[in-house]
Amino acid sequence: MLVRLPPIRPSDKMERLLERLVLGSRWLLVPLYLVLVVLLAAFAVKAAVELVHIFDGLFDSSESEMVLAALSLIDLVLIGNLIVMVALSGYETFVSRIDQVPEMEKPSWLGKYDPGTIKLKVAASLVAISAIHLLKNYLGHESLDVTRMMMLTGVHLAFVVSALILAFVDRIAFSAHRNGQH
């Protein structure tokens, strides 16, 4: 017995074409993630240059200069972590699942974070980066420009408040979903 399907109307063909186009548009994000990979390489080079400078002036540097140099490297590492987190989780969330490559270990957190969690981690990273920048400015100047320090403190507090608000909203909006009650 042969079952006849109804003919496809032209509007159905147009709808399917549009759906494929919209769904396929997610691949336009790939060049953006590749730019982040190149940016990460630039930060790795910058960290290596900073390390060379540290060792170059190791015996001539004061303790506070060493602390500032270490804070600069920590700042670069935090930004690098942020880049990796956004690139990997964004690719997996919005483009395609990352398959396990046999010779590479997949990070345990990959695939477990939703976009809301990533936003919270980005906000927390920005707070940490801002705190380090504020500390570097505080430690790096013998005569502090009060206006500049107040401005930097205000920006840092804005990051802190924003992160807290994001966490609060995320908790209200998604706590039931994350606990499997959805």
Distance between CA atoms of residues 23 and 77, nearest Å: 34
Q: How many CA atoms lie within 13 A of 96 on its CB side?
A: 10
pLDDT in tens, 53-95: 999 988 998 888 888 889 889 989 999 998 998 898 888 888 9
Position 39 confidence tier, pLDDT thresholds 50, 70, 90: very high
Nearest to 89 by CA among 113, 72, 56, 121: 113
- What residue has token string 């990051």? 159
What counts of helices (H) and strands (E) characterise the chain?
5, 0
List phi, psi (to 5°) of 85. Answer: -60, -45
- Nearby residues of 87 by Cβ (< 8 Å), 6 or more positions away: 33, 36, 37, 40
Look at residue 144 in the predicted model and tell me its pLDDT: 75
pLDDT in tens, 87-134: 988 888 889 888 777 777 777 777 777 777 788 888 888 899 899 888
